[in-house]
Amino acid sequence: MKVLVINGSPKGKNSNTYKLTKAFVAGMKQAYKSEASFEMEEIYVNQAKISPCLGCFSCWNKTPGKCCISDDMQQIIERQLQSDIIIWSFPLYYFSVPGGLKNLIDRQLPMVLPFMEEREDGVGSGSHPSRYDMSGKRHILISTCGFYTAKGNYDSVLSMFDHMCGKEKYTTIFCGQGELFRVPEVSKRTNEYLEYVKCAGEEYINGGILEPTRAKLDTLLYPKETFEAMADASWGIEEKTGERADDSLIFTKQMAALYRKEAYPGKDLVVEMCYTDVGKTYQILLGKDGSKVFTDNSKTSTTRIETPFTVWKSIAMGEISGAEALMKSMYKVKGDFNLMLHWDDYFGSTGSETSGAETSGKEQASGKGTGTNAKGIHMPVKETNMNIMLIPWIIFWVTVAIQAYVGSLISIGVSILIPLIFYKNKKTFYDTLTGVLVTGFSIVNILGVSTGITMPLSYLAFGAMWTVTCFGKIPLTAHYSMNQYGNEKALENPMFMKTNRILTFMWGILYVLTSIWTYFLMGTGFASFTGAINSVVPAFMGIFTVWFQKWYPAKLARG
């Protein structure tokens, strides 16, 4: 299989479009298990010597099939003839192809015979027969354009390639918002798009781009308003004066453009961005209809972020995560810290499920609950649920304390039933371990071992299960609370992990202590109330947990 890439961007390798082309070719290669059977050649139109056609028709009459101009074009035609697949990679220029590529296309005249013939596919009102057998060749058009959508902008291009290759005889990947492919700050979203392009390349070789992938390719990188606000801000020009604007103001405006009004929490928020190294402060109002940047600091801020501008840039470029920078005291946050905890909901969600399709659909509002599988297809993400782990233990402690035999039977039943009831949730190792331990303790009870022994031991086992995880990679609570903080992504957040490590440790120790007093309680007249009594302290601990997981990160952030 010989693939020829014709890169028609004047930027050559620095072309936005070329990024898509490279991804597509990578997908094609992946489909070809043995690379030996896959050959790729590239032509850079910006480097090639291609003079404009002189219109002399000597390639038709004087020297049939040969142009009178001696430059790189003869070799380009030969390469086209030798290839099986031709990828036309180019930016949209004035709703058509760039001039250099148009020259190349014009200079293909030696490839056709001068005679007139009617086309069989009904395109246009005249045609020339091909000088060569081009019937087996496949063409792919990959292009980016600068407007928010590719829709409606490619009419001239399509018309030209309909004539060149035949109607519907070629495959297209057209992507709007092309300049975003060179913006590191939004690389998460553009890389996601490139993954779909790669997937398309693989599918193309295996028979054709599949519908779900095509839908992803046709999805806007960002909703129209977000993109246009970002694009306008990116030029770095003051709207009123037309003069060059301050970099930190441009940055603030671009960030404001990323605000997703679907995340509006019911009251206006004012984020005050204080860039300590450049001595500038700007405010972003996050309202229900969108965001607005204030340069006069006239608003009362709800959250104030004090950081050097350089740190913000590093975070935006993905060189360091916001949470990591905060842990390293690279910036401080004052006021309402809740905004920081849900930053991705307000600004950072760059995945396509949150960036809106052509219709800028409502489904982008939640920003959670989906993920991408290995094929790049979006699937619902299963969430963990702490109830799966807690309910069997609670049932065991309450019922066994009242009646050991019946309580144990109920506990075994619950351990079997709970995973069935919560079948939609993602199971953790601790859910499974719980099932095994509760069933084990219940069987031991049924076999006649005293609950005076099994009850304290069960609390000890439960406490140990929590405490031990504090010394491992992921503390137990993190497995469950990550659902509210972006799922697996939360596990990379050092602040989230530290908060959870402390909480897991406190809960673990509480239950280790509980096992001790349970041992003594089981010997008293209150034995049958042990389960109920032991639920009181955890209830307070639960209230403490809710408070602590907000207070502790905020305390760290205040520096």
Ligand X SMILES: Cc1cc2nc3c(=O)[nH]c(=O)nc-3n(C[C@H](O)[C@H](O)[C@H](O)COP(=O)(O)O)c2cc1C
Q: Which of 38, 60, 106, 146 binds ligand X (CB under 6 A)?
A: 146
Interface with ligand X, residue 21, by CB under 6 A: no
Q: Which of 3, 9, 301, 333 binds ligand X (CB under 6 A)?
A: 9
CB of residue 167 to ligand X, shortest distance in Å? 23
**Stretch binding ligand X (CB under 6 A), from 10-18, 336-344, 354-362, 525-533:** 10-18
The letter for the amino acid at 531 is G
CB of residue 178 to ligand X, shortest distance in Å? 2
Residue nearest to ligand X (CB): 178
Give, in order, the Cα–Cα distances in Å from 16 to each of 7, 254, 352: 11, 20, 19
Interface with ligand X, residue 190, by CB under 6 A: no
Q: Are the beta carbons of 161 and 170 closer than 8 angstroms?
A: yes
Q: Which of 32, 132, 147, 517 binds ligand X (CB under 6 A)?
A: 147
Q: Which of 95, 235, 429, 540 binds ligand X (CB under 6 A)?
A: 95
Comparing CB distances to ligand X, the nearer of 21 and 364 is 21
Give, in order, the Cα–Cα distances in Å from 100 to each of 44, 45, 159, 310: 10, 6, 18, 40
Q: Which of 153, 360, 484, 528 binds ligand X (CB under 6 A)?
A: 153
Interface with ligand X, residue 508, by CB under 6 A: no
Q: Which of 1, 2, 11, 127 binds ligand X (CB under 6 A)?
A: 11
Which has the closest alpha carbon to 193: 210, 176, 206?
Answer: 176
Comparing CB distances to ligand X, the nearer of 22 and 216 is 22
Across-strand partners of 397?
none
Interface with ligand X, residue 224, by CB under 6 A: no
CB of residue 540 to ligand X, shortest distance in Å? 59
**Stretch binding ligand X (CB under 6 A), from 13-21, 200-208, 251-259, 277-285:** 13-21
Task: Return the H-helix or E-strand segment holding 251.
Answer: helix 247-257
Contacts of 103 (CB under 8 A, 6+ apart): 50, 51, 52, 53
Task: Return the H-helix or E-strand segment holding 90.
Answer: strand 85-91
**Stretch binding ligand X (CB under 6 A), from 15-23, 134-142, 259-267, 348-356:** 15-23
**Stretch binding ligand X (CB under 6 A), from 8-16, 26-34, 64-72, 302-310:** 8-16
Q: Which of 3, 67, 92, 286 binds ligand X (CB under 6 A)?
A: 92
Interface with ligand X, residue 91, by CB under 6 A: yes
The letter for the amino acid at 424 is K
**Stretch binding ligand X (CB under 6 A), from 87-95, 191-199, 302-310, 520-528:** 87-95
Give, in order, the Cα–Cα distances in Å from 536 to each of 184, 252, 389, 467, 533: 51, 48, 19, 20, 6
- Looking only at the bridges linking them, the beta strands covering 303-307 and 332-335 are antiparallel
**Stretch binding ligand X (CB under 6 A), from 88-96, 159-167, 372-380, 526-534:** 88-96
Q: What's the chain's Rg over C-alpha atoms?
A: 32
Answer positive or negative: Cα dihedral of 151, 350, 28, 381: negative
Ranges assigned E (strand) in 93-240: 138-144, 170-175
Which has the closest alpha carbon to 259: 349, 360, 353, 346?
Answer: 346
Contact residues: ligand X, CB under 6 A? 9, 11, 15-17, 91-95, 144-147, 153, 178-179
